[in-house]
A and B are shown apart, each in its own frame.
Chain A
């Protein structure tokens, strides 16, 4: 991460702030670990994509999302839903196909939404959420909300035509959209640096005439600072920004991915830099006792276990409703 376009030294918060961030990272981490357990146990079925290791991007973004804003995520979106404030029990229930899920089992792990929480949905089509987010920003131009739309996608999506169209459309119309590229360096199972000539994806922003920067995506404070600037600029009429948040996926593309594509030493390095390690070190340096650091994880685990139990106890989606909501 030596090639960030901006020095990020000094962007750290208070001890309580770091602790709160660590707790949020753990909430996302243990949520997804629990999803993995439920999938492996057969309680959840189908293709499920985890973002373990990437949580700091969502944690750093969470408080930037205003009450009228709209967030659009990808199929690797559990953490983003949590960042928007969607209750974990409703998310578990959705993943488990329960009636109490965010969408009553219509969305599943990869296509869930909770608009009341500003979470306008995951998307299982790589890059497809970007133009939809542009539309949410467009709506804001006419409804007086001052809405900023945030769209999150991976490095692989940067090679999708829809993302290009969305960036140009938003730039040409000066729409308040923040394009967040979570660059975990893997486009599903293929390394991004073999699929592009220039792996500095943020540089494409220049071609659209919009600001673009690469940031360390493993530290919530840095994400909050840099993405905050982009959100502010959008809200003040400055148009879209592309932020490339460098991070690492510590698990496979999907549950069951054998990950034979990994490069030597890659995961060891990634584990050294991942957010829970990073934030715990910051807390230790700030004088936090071990018990305080451990409590962040412990509290998250307790909350998550309870939410999962609640979801497992909920009724399955009712077959009698399978055709409901096709048309208004």
Chain B
């Protein structure tokens, strides 16, 4: 029965078009990033990133076709096997990989192509997590199930950290949104966000001011938000406890950033607070990307007219900092349109996910949305100076075969599942 479905009717074309638009726009900007007005080469020339990206884009058609024509049940049934395979591959990578810029995460395939298994591990972790959480009787609010789900999500990033790809490892934090959707008490993500805010506050302000602020918030909470009958001794102790823990966190962060983090990681955080502290060293990317985006103005300098994002002024121009080119050449309008496209895509995926009759498909859909969102959050955030520099790509736009393929696979597995949403797995 399932095999009889016409994929052309079942597939969600809105998502496909949004995807295609982002990929195409990314390709244009990769060309702009490597474009040299002195010596223009065509966008098709494979001697530079734009031409190579075109090859990657072409090859994704094959991937998409394979994904769409494989039986949708495969993704569910083989989820754990895929997961086990990717864990082994990640471990093997540590030993097989050649070191590139200090990280051992790339496996060479032949002489020209290398693959980054870490990029693909997100897909298989998503599948495994969806499989586990959709299992009959599993409930995330149960401690045992929460631990198993946590382990599924925690193991890959730990191996990735061993590969010294901290950036990719961080993206696994995205799964907290999935847990929340599936019933994790709201206090955990709320706590996470609260701690993140506290963390940032400690970076920008003196720790004693932050603690004083915390005390003020607690006092305000006690007298304004709690009703008279709620001001019990027990609640006072609780509030006091929260205050003490938060204060301890504040001091912990300070200790962590100054004593535990590596000097280069410290600098990345330091330059986020004050890019001028080291304008030509660690602050270089932050300053240059911010300058590039700012110089775009409202409507941008025009396609291929950018000056900041060419000639390697912003390192990793076509990969992690592709958004600078967008900002410089397409201006505020172009940047906001890209963000709107992503917002539309996220909205579409989540609405589709909610429509799934199969719990597996729904959870997987949330995984896709969360991962895309997290990349968006960190990648654009770092180019506009709201996030520390963490080297993760902007989905669909950034140059790179591994990232393009992994995001394509991630998305199209969901579209495949969605095409069969009337069939409960």
Q: Do A and B bind each other?
A: no
